[in-house]
Amino acid sequence: MVLEISAASVGAVFIAVLLLWVLSCISDQNHKHVQGDHKAKKTAVQSGPLHYLYQFLPCSSSPSLPGPPGLFLIGNMMELMHDHLPIHLTSLAQRYGNIYKLKCGNTTMVVLNSTDFIREALVKKWSDFAGRPLSYTGDIVSRGGLSISLGDYTEEWKAHRRLVHGALKRCCQKSLHDVIERQALHLRKVLMGYKGSAVDLSEDFTVAASNVITTLAFGKEYDKCSPELQQLHSCLNEIVALWGSSWISALDSFPLLRNLPNPVFSRLLKEVARRDKIITQHLNKYQSQDRENEDTITGSLLQGLGKLHSTEHEVLLTDTHVHMATVDLLIGGSETTAAWLSWTVAFLLHRPEVQTRVYEELCTVLEGRYPKYSDKHRLPVLCSLINEVLRLRPVAPLAVPHRAIRDSSIAGYFIPKNTVVIPNLFGAHHDPEVWTDPYSFKPERFLEGGGGSTRALVPFGGGARLCLGESIAKMEVFLFTAYLLRDFQFLPPERDAPLPDLRGVASIVLKVKSYTVRARPRPVTHP
Ligand code: HEM
């Protein structure tokens, strides 16, 4: 009996010591994690017999990322089903902090809700987080990852982005200002035609913004009622809306669902086929007209393909890359800027005195002429309005998800390879640590002494994945807004009519709910 007890005690002590040793090894390795020494941890743990045990212990990464508790099998899927995801993710930040994790099926996501954390991941450690999630549905929408926005960070993607970036730069240097001015003047004519009646301007804004891109891309502009334009818009909008829906994202996290009938997914496939038909027609027409000159983006891209073939032997870019770049520019270029303009008018209806201040500044500084982009630094009130709308309603509120392409860290937390990183730009722009009264529309915060800093704004993301159209978008929002506010006063449809709802509808693009407005022409006081 004594012998049995002592054998049992020795066994228990042995197991306890073994466990303690295991735990101390792990805690030692985790300490190294936090200091960024991931390699040491990986080799020690993964090569040893502790590898499996390590995965199941609760302190497998220390400090462990906070986050809401998940449900059996589906994890935090329900958190992603909210109708206004940016607002919901921002409210979770109040409970779990500016960095937290969500588990969804086999995917771990880390949500970043402050400018500092977003900059750390996207700018400072850009090469760790430049990937895009490997996604079944994303592959379908992007023809196997061949678009710039959804393609993963590979040599092929880098050559593709370089090619498009070069083409954009060349065309924009030559003609961007003129193209935007022309569309702004056309928009003015359209608004004059409404003669101050109450109308929904969102479609006019979309046509103006997308005409900038189609002029740059193909040298072609459209009328609002052009069936070709309507077809293109309805198809691209549908793809963006469907791809942003949870019916589709569930297919990425739960592969088993792919075997079940899914009418939303069938619609997505149909719209992608329709999109490809339209773009192919456009490109064929363009090529048949023998307009392969470098004045348009398409011409420049097609010429660039030939050059790349001869200089970069390892990477072969094809017509499909030109096709998908066109899709990227059309999607990126129309809904975003148009949504931004609709937001601006909506906010101005809530605070008409801001509109008056911008108008007075335009009259004083420009003395009757139309603005140039180079006037930017002489128009601080207009710029403060632009910055405040970009802050309150970043039109791509959750950017596009990134993926860690190697083990890394953010804010001292270990982030393993393949973690999906969601930069919550909306959350960062409402961070109470950075912005006083973050939910109020106060352009004056960006004026001298107002306390707001444009450095804390990240509406275009950053690093390797910085919005490819950033310079186009900045010039567009500046010139369109200046032209509109110089010539029109925006008023509610009737004296006591309810003002536009400012909560918005969030998908990939954050849009304001449709509303009507009167654009009353300003008296002609200019020379
Ligand atoms: C107000 C207007 C716009 C805003 C706020 C905006 C914002 C953004 C954001 C936040 C991203 C994601 C960055 C990331 O992944 O970290 C993005 C990506 C992108 N945007 Fe924009 N954008 C605007 C206009 C445009 C325009 C006019 C174009 C094209 C002419 C464009 C083309 C793109 C493309 C191609 C990407 C993908 C970049 C990549 O993955 O490397 N965007 N944009």
- Per-residue pLDDT, 249: 82
- Per-residue pLDDT, 59: 41
Residues of the chain with pLDDT under 50: 1-61, 527
Q: Quick one: which of 468, 131, 145 has its CA closest to 321? A: 145
Mutate to test the pocket of ligand 1, among 460, 475, 478, 480 (most ligand atoms within 8 A of CB): 460
Distance 404 CA to ligand 1 centre (A): 20
Which residues sit opposite 109 in a β-bridge? 102, 420
CA–CA distance, 214 with 66 (Å, rounded to integer): 45
Q: Is 363 flagged in the annotation as binding?
A: no
Residue 25 contacts by C-beta under 8 Å, 6 or more apart in sequence?
Answer: 44, 45, 50
Distance 463 CA to ligand 1 centre (A): 12
How does strand 488-491 pair with strand 408-410?
unpaired
CA–CA distance, 482 with 78 (Å, rounded to integer): 43
How far does CA 59 lie from the centroid of its chain? 33
Domain positions in the chain are 2-56, 77-521
167-198 burial, b if ≥16 CB within 10 A, otherwise e?
Answer: bbebbbeebbeebbbbbbebbbeebeebeeee
CA–CA distance, 130 with 87 (Å, rounded to integer): 25
SS (H, E, C) 251-267: HHHCHHHHHCCCHHHHH
Tally the residues of the chain: 527
Q: Quick one: which of 243, 233, 236, 206 has its CA closest to 401? A: 243
**Residues 431-451: tens digit of each pLDDT:** 999 999 999 999 999 999 999
Q: Which two tokens stand for residue 22?
A: 């295991």
Closest ligand 1 atom, residue 325 Cα? 35
Distance 345 CA to ligand 1 centre (A): 22
- Maximum distance among all Cα pairs of the chain, rounded to whole angstroms: 111
Which residue puts its alpha carbon closest to atom 6 of ligand 1?
460
Give the binding-site residues of ligand 1, using a 6 Å CB cut-off: 122, 148-149, 161, 213, 328-329, 332-333, 336-337, 340, 394-396, 399-400, 423, 459-461, 465, 467-469, 472-473, 477
**Residues 144-167: tens digit of each pLDDT:** 999 999 999 999 999 999 999 999
Which residue puts its alpha carbon closest to atom 9 of ligand 1?
460
Distance 84 CA to ligand 1 centre (A): 20
- Per-residue pLDDT, 50: 36
Distance 149 CA to ligand 1 centre (A): 8
- Per-residue pLDDT, 433: 96
Which residue puts its alpha carbon closest to atom 27 of ligand 1?
333
How does strand 510-511 pair with strand 505-506?
antiparallel
Peptide bond preceding 63: is omega within 30 degrees of 0, i.e. cis?
Answer: yes
Q: Quick one: which of 378, 377, 336 has its CA closest to 473? A: 336
Which residues sit opposite 422 in a β-bridge? 111
- Per-residue pLDDT, 247: 82
- Per-residue pLDDT, 311: 55
Task: Note the CATH architecture for domain 77-521.
Answer: Orthogonal Bundle (1.10)
Distance 462 CA to ligand 1 centre (A): 10
